[in-house]
Amino acid sequence: MPDHPRIIEFGYVNWRGQFAIRTVTPIRIYWGATKYHPQPQWLLEGFDHDKNGTRDFALTDCDFAARRDAEEIAF
């Protein structure tokens, strides 16, 4: 888990279908469209610490249960 309380980690599937864990400081949640998300939808704008820049994440592609430090659970 990140040390700063405003930093969040979540799993994300990008527009290419690639999954990665992202470390982000949220800026805002808004309804809109972007180059990579052309259909209007809920988006999370935030500072991506891995990419060192501001990015927009489609909330439908976010998995807030996935984290870097999550342990695999066997059933």
For the chain, give every domain's residue range: 8-63
pLDDT reading at 33 higher than 90: yes
- Spatial CA neighbour of 27 closest among 2, 53, 50: 53
Residue 66 is predicted with a pLDDT of 82
pLDDT reading at 30 higher than 50: yes
pTM of the model: 0.81
- Spatial CA neighbour of 34 closest among 58, 17, 12: 58
In this structure, what token pair is assigned to residue 28? 């805002």
What band does 2 get if pLDDT is binned at 50, 70 and 90?
A: low
Residue 70 is predicted with a pLDDT of 56
